[in-house]
Amino acid sequence: MEPTETDWLSSYAAWSDETAATLAEGRTVFRAACDATFDEQVGNAPSERLQATAAMARASCGSRSPAGWRRGEAAVVRELLAVHAVEFPPRRRLDFSDIASVSVGVEPTVYCWQPESWAELLPQYAILRAGEEVSLRGILDRERNRIDLDPGICASLADYVEGVRPLRLSNQFLLLGEALRVLTHQAEHLRDPSASEAEVECRALQHVRPLAARAGWEEEVTTEVALQAWQIAYPRLPAPFRSPECRDGGAFDRDPDSSIWP
């Protein structure tokens, strides 16, 4: 039976992780041996649309350092995104870039994906990124200063920039808090690439209240958006994205002189 795209991507991910570990140990990965293990463990792409992705994966064999290998892995992810963007191209949102600029101080290029292409991309992307980044519903490309967003996140951000006030007793408070957190999380990675996931997530959480306040809503609304992001969304995140230092007065508190949290 021929492998599916999912099978092939899983094989590539395992092969890439193994090679990356070899390089991290300081051992040399020779091109001929790398090509041979690729043929044996990964092989040809199972579909025409993944042929360019497979070519990019094989090209990683030219890398001789851990940093070079990571760049190769990023190029494979980038090619995979390009494949899924062909039929339903994502839409660039300058207004969402402005949100990141105002809150975090960086100006990424932000794209919103169509539901059809995002739904197909997500499980394949999760294979290459071990699933945890997907829970944040955003994809970051540091080299291109680019953020790609889940359609649902984009819908909430669109309501935000249009000034649509969350309805009382609805889940719109939670959805807005999540959308602002997802965007600023990826933007914080651009601002400080060396920061941990837990620290970046905590910083993003603290951008929610001031961003909600910028919409001009009453304090009750902005507080509810911030609290739902903190009390409901934050505890559901995978362990690497949470920390006991994410609290009022903790090491990740951006304003330790204030008792307002988050």
Q: What is the mean pLDDT of each run of 10 residues along the chain (262 residues)?
A: 91 96 94 96 96 96 93 95 95 98 98 96 89 73 96 98 93 97 96 96 98 95 97 94 97 95 96
Left, alpha or beta for 137 (phi > 0: left; psi -120 to 50: alpha)? Answer: left
Within-domain flag for 115: yes
Place of tokens 């009022």: 248
- The Cα–Cα gap between 127 and 123 comes to 7
Number of domains in the chain: 2
Query: Can you give the pLDDT at residue 66?
Result: 95
> Strands, E, within the chain: which ranges?
91-92, 109-112, 138-141, 146-149
The DSSP bridge pattern shows strands 146-149 and 109-112 to be parallel
Shared domain check, 155 and 125: yes
Within-domain flag for 183: yes
Listing DSSP states for 85-112 in one string gives TTTSPPEE-HHHHHHHHHHTS---EEEE
Query: Can you give the pLDDT at residue 131?
Result: 56
Q: Of 115, 53, 124, 51, nearest to 88 (Cα)? A: 115
Query: Can you give the pLDDT at residue 2?
Result: 77
Instruction: Kindly report the pTM of this predicted structure.
Output: 0.93
Query: Can you give the pLDDT at residue 213?
Result: 96
Q: For residue 182, which amino acid is it?
A: V
Q: Of 41, 48, 45, 49, nearest to 19 (Cα)? A: 41
Query: Can you give the pLDDT at residue 133?
Result: 56
- Where in the sequence is the domain holding 199, given as residue range(s)? 91-241
Question: Residue 19 in 3-state DSSP?
Answer: helix
Within-domain flag for 165: yes
Shared domain check, 40 and 117: no
The DSSP letter of residue 229 is I
- The Cα–Cα gap between 262 and 260 comes to 6
Shared domain check, 211 and 133: yes
Within-domain flag for 254: no
